[in-house]
Amino acid sequence: MNENRHKLPILKPAVFLTILICLIYSNTLNSSWQLDDLNNIIQNSNIQMRSLNLNSIIDSLYGASHKEGLYRPVAYFTFALNWLWGGDDVTSYHLVNIGIHILTAFFLFLTISSLLRTPNIKGWDQSSIYFVALLSAVLWAIHPIQIQAVTYIVQRMASLAALFYIIGIFSYLKARMTHSKIYRMLWWGLCGLVFVLGVGSKNNAIMLPVILLLMEFVFFRDLSQKKNLTQAVAILLGMALIVAIAGIFLFMEDDASQYFKELYEARHFSMYQRLLTQPSVVLFYLFQIFYPTVEQFSIEHDFTVSTSLFHPWTTFPAILIVLALIVFALWRIKKNPILAFAILFFFGNHVIESTIIPLEMVFEHRNYLPTLFLFVPIAIGVKKAFDYYYNAKKPMFYFLIFSVCAVMIGIGTSTYIRNWDWRSVKSLCEDAIEKAPESSRPVHNLAYGYYKPTGQIEKALALYQKALELKAPQTIFKADIYNNIAAIYYSHLKDYEKAVEYAKKSLIIHPKDTTKMLLCDALTMQRRYDESLFFLDEFLKQAPGNILLLYRKGFILLKKERTEEALASFRQCFRQAPDNWKYLREIGFCLTQMADYETGYWFLNQAIAHRPKSPGILLGLAGNRIHAGYTDEANPWIEQFIDRMGVSNIENFLIEVSEDPFGLPLFFDGVAPLISQDIRKRSEKYLEIADMIENRFSNSVE
């Protein structure tokens, strides 16, 4: 092999890349949690590791609460480690993301350095290799197209996959160019390991073996030989056939085809329309890359969906341009292998997210991996221009140096400025609203992520109403907006009628469990128990084992004194979660009402063991003993209740429970005299409170 034994200096570029990246991303350390960060990290108990043990590690590997089985376990494990070390302190997550970006840039530098020493790349001396590799890595690392994968915390999935991907390529190159069998085995082993870790970070790392095959023919095989060319064509056709067959079987498989069908039903475009649109999207990415002004970048883009080859008219030209670039790259493999590889690498690594999978049309973080080698031909061009003008025209040489430095400063400045938009939910959403004024998502996110949490409810409602009038990213997106409006009316404004109205609108579009619960709770708060039961029965027909719906049904039946039916619902819940204290408590209440006092008492005792200070369970135990005729056994529970609540808080507690449509069915006329009696014993200053409790509750039966 054409192995170059001259060692490339790596300390200086490592330090230079670290300093440069840290400077450019220095204003992101306090950037807030955004969008999917919340459900993947902040609200995800699976990754909230408290100690480093086997069980917590396993929980973190299954961290994707919205997916069954293992899903990007490596990325979720890193989130869990972050939580263990820093909880929800956002700075520690940003530091890790920046660290990953630095490592990726450094391994990109090493990989390009190795790439320029491969057998099919000739004529590069040590200093030229150093210059091209470092300039390529710098341009890639400082470009604003990478911001979403670095500053957006949850997109660590994309950056981590790219890190393992580039280490895999570097390992492959080292294995191919070493003469030592031992080192070759070690490099191949590392290549296999990082491939697994890459796929465990994000699925698009699955393309690594394909790229390594491409590299084998581009950089190591002599394609002027008919044998090698035949092999290359055969492998290319074979891979295309495998993909086609896999696709056919995928869509013949009922579960897979149904899965894709359901995902596309949630979108405002079909698979055919997505395939037509993606060439335009990929060209838009290239426009962003080669014209990286701040105005080009956003978390949201208004992008016209192609409904046919000629609507919009740019669809067909975009397809032709993409095909032309791919054909050009294949044609130039022998004469310009670096350029050809950069083009094929870019399009090849967009295959997963820019073809048939029903993802959002546009997201900038998808370019983090595909752009790894895109700047190498540019760096080569700069190097050749420097070499030419250094001897021919010195003024032009110095002008080129100035121009390259100015471009790098401009790109880095764009990245730094763009990162300011990520400092808060408000700033990011307002930026997206300005750049994508027809899209409903940033308007919704501004209401949901900023105005509602800060208590500016009227502003949030106004933004939600505006979002309903704009273009939704998914057909079910309006269901989320209606649900969020209903939640505001329910929780903040206590307008339960409005909550019912908007919850119903949401359910017509998408029957989500949280909305079902919201509707039933809003009806219950109006004491419209029969209507609530009607909807609960309808929902349970669709999901008979839904534990939340079963619990709500049981509770309402218990309030309506349909005790046997309530008990049946609670028992179904109990079978699914036998250690849940609420189900134990409610079964105890039911059995007490059914005069099965001893069994009810046992269940209530099990509940209090889980929640020793629960005032409701303490009064339930006291009421059970009173009903059973063992008033003396009720007194200790009454004492614990008073100690737990404090004398001055008891009346308010009893009032709230008695007036609350969700209040516990406590035996008020039985427990009130005992509470009053105990309070009188404690101090004369409590006599007035004791009298009020006895007078108010002794004659009320709930």
Q: Strand pairing partners for 474?
A: 267
Q: Please report which helix (H) or strand (E) contains residue 533, including its range.
A: helix 529-542
Q: Structural domain tally of the chain?
A: 1
Count of CB atoms situated within 10 Å of the CB of 611: 15
Average model confidence (pLDDT) across the chain: 87
Comparing 124-128, 437-441, 607-611, the range with the smallest average pLDDT is: 124-128
Determine the average pLDDT of the residues in 188-215: 92
User: Binning pLDDT at 50, 70 and 90, where does residue 54 land?
Assistant: confident
72 part of a folded domain? no
- Nearest in space to 368 (alpha carbons), one of 212, 145, 102, 153: 145
Distance CA 480, CA 465 (A): 12
Mean pLDDT calculated for residue range 257-273: 76
pLDDT tens for 111-164 read 999 999 999 887 788 888 999 999 999 999 999 999 999 999 999 999 999 999
Question: Residue 29: what pLDDT?
Answer: 94
- Residue 624: inside a domain, yes or no? yes
Is the distance from CB of 49 to CB of 80 less than 8 angstroms? yes
Amino acid symbol at 130 = Y
Averaged pLDDT, 500-510: 92
pLDDT band at 244 (very low <50, low <70, confident <90, very high): low
Q: How confident is the model at residue 252 (pLDDT cuts 50, 70, 90)?
A: very low
Confidence of residue 3 (pLDDT cuts 50, 70, 90): very low
Is residue 299 included in any domain, yes or no? no
> Tens digit of pLDDT for each residue in 348-398?
999 888 888 888 899 999 999 999 999 999 999 999 988 888 877 778 888
Q: Give the pLDDT of residue 678.
A: 83
| pLDDT tops 60 at residue 255 | no
How far is the C-alpha of 698 from the C-alpha of 155, rounded, in Å?
60
The SS3 of residue 210 is: helix
- Looking at residue 693, its pLDDT comes to 76
At residue 374, the pLDDT reads: 96
| Cα–Cα dist 470/466, whole Å | 7
Ranking 129-138, 260-269, 445-454, 608-617 by mean pLDDT, the lowest is 260-269
Q: Which two tokens stand for residue 186?
A: 């070690």
pLDDT tens track for 333-351:
888 999 999 999 999 999 8
Task: Tell me, yes or no, whether 682 lies in a domain.
Answer: yes
Share of the chain above pLDDT 70, in %: 93
Q: What is the mean pLDDT of residues 16-23?
A: 95
In this model, does residue 224 exceed pLDDT 80? no
Residue 521 belongs to some domain of the structure: no
CA 405 – CA 397 distance, rounded (Å):
12
What pLDDT score does 239 carry?
65
pLDDT band at 287 (very low <50, low <70, confident <90, very high): very high
| Percentage of the chain lying above the pLDDT 90 cut | 51
CB 648, CB 689: distance < 8 Å: yes
Over range 407-436, report the average pLDDT.
93
How many whole angstroms separate alpha carbon 590 and alpha carbon 597? 10
Q: Which pLDDT score, from 0 to 100, does residue 519 have? A: 92
In eight-state DSSP terms, residue 40 is I
The answer to whether position 553 is within a domain reads no
pLDDT digits (tens, 9 = 90+) for 552-605: 899 889 888 899 999 999 999 999 988 888 899 999 999 998 999 999 999 999
pLDDT score recorded for residue 241 = 65
In a domain, 158, yes or no: no
Residue 151 lies in a domain: no
Structure confidence at residue 257 as a pLDDT band (50, 70, 90): low
Residue in 81, 60, 82 with CA at minimum distance from that of residue 70 = 60
The overall pTM is greater than 0.95: no
pLDDT at 618 exceeding the cut of 70? yes
CA dihedral 358, 360, 363, 365 (to 10 degrees): -50
How high is the pLDDT of residue 682? 76
Q: How confident is the model at residue 93 (pLDDT cuts 50, 70, 90)?
A: very high
Task: List residues bridging with 439 in a β-sheet.
Answer: 471
Q: What is the pLDDT of residue 26?
A: 95
pLDDT at 226 over 60: yes
Range of the domain at 656: 613-702
Q: Return the structure tokens found at 178.
A: 């070493």
574: CB partners within 8 A, 6+ apart: 580, 583, 584, 587
